[in-house]
Every structure is written in C-alpha cells, then in structure tokens.
Amino acid sequence: MYRVCFVCTGNICRSPMAEAVFRAKVRDAGLDGLVEVGSAGTGSWHLGDPADPRTNAVLEDAGYELAHVARLFEPDWFDTYDLVVALDEGHETELTALARHSTEAAKVRLLRSYDPAADQGDLGVPDPYYGGANGFDVCLAMVEAAVPGLLDEVTQAVEVREAR
C-alpha cells in the first residue's frame, strides 16, 4: 500500500478537498487497494470537526465525495505515509520541522509543485477559510490542476513496488 497524506492548517478546507479529489482520481486510475489517501492539519483548532460546509459544497458541485473528520498530523505518521503533501509553504516548513531525520523531511512536497503551469515562485494554495465561496472554487481549480502530476508520480511508485 502506498500512502499519501495532504496537510493544511485546520484540516477542514484545503487538505480534505485535495484528499477527495485525489481519492477520486486514484479510483479512476484503478489504484484502489494500492493507494491510501488521507489528510490532516498542522493545528488543533478543528479536531473532530467535519469539513467546512463550503468545502463540501464545492466538492459536491464538482461531483466529488467526502466523508471527513479533522485530525492533527503527528510526527510518527512519517512512518506510515510515503508522501506528505503540504498545501502551502508554511505547512511545508512546519512538516519539515516535525521530521525527525532527513528521510522523513524528504517525504514532504508542495501540492502545486506537481502542476507544470503553476508559478514556481508561489506554489501555495491560498486558504479560502476567511473569504467567500469563490475562494473555494479557486482552491479546487488549483488542486485539480496539480493532481494529475501527483497521480503520475504515485502511479510510478506503485508500479515499482508491484514489480518487486
């Protein structure tokens, strides 16, 4: 099993959105049972809460499913996950600081680094929490643009594991 965890601040907007989109694309690619997808936050404000209603609405409108309860990323999760995908540079910094050694830090990537059209100077997905519904649409578009590149990398990693 190849495991991917998406991480944002409170685990109610961006990371559950990325989780839902990536899980759907994993299923569409026939990788169910080979790739496990989860999400978490760097802060504990929303632990146990469902995804933000605006996240659920934009996902539902786009045809994605999400059953979600917010949780906190724990340092020992580096042992569980093969790839830890940060939604912005601040999350990347926090996750790298949580890593206990360089092999764990090497698992941390920015989601938009997988989008070839993204501005390489700004790879963060902006937090839509304090804005209106449009921010959630923008967030979804950024997630959807990056997921194909991420899926390609994960598919290759799964194929290598399966070949062993």
Question: Catalytic site residue 52?
Answer: no
- What average pLDDT score do residues 100-126 get? 95
Distances (CA, A) of 4 to 117, 122, 131, 133, 135: 22, 22, 28, 27, 25
Split into its structural domains, the chain has a count of 1
Catalytic residue among 5, 14, 23, 115: 14
pTM of the model: 0.97
Residue 30 CB partners (closer than 8 Å, separation 6+): none
Catalytic residue among 27, 49, 82, 127: 127
Q: Is the pLDDT of residue 13 over 90?
A: yes
Question: Catalytic site residue 28?
Answer: no
Question: Catalytic site residue 5?
Answer: no
Catalytic residue among 5, 8, 13, 139: 8
Query: What is the pLDDT, as a whole number, of residue 117?
Result: 94
Write the CATH number for 93: 3.40.50.2300
Average pLDDT, the chain: 96
Residue 56 CB partners (closer than 8 Å, separation 6+): 50, 66
Q: Which domain holds residue 12?
A: 2-163
Residue 40: name the closest of 64, 4, 66, 65 by CA: 4
pLDDT (tens digit, 9 = 90+) per residue, 87-108? 999 999 999 999 999 999 999 9
Query: What is the pLDDT, as a whole number, of residue 14?
Result: 98
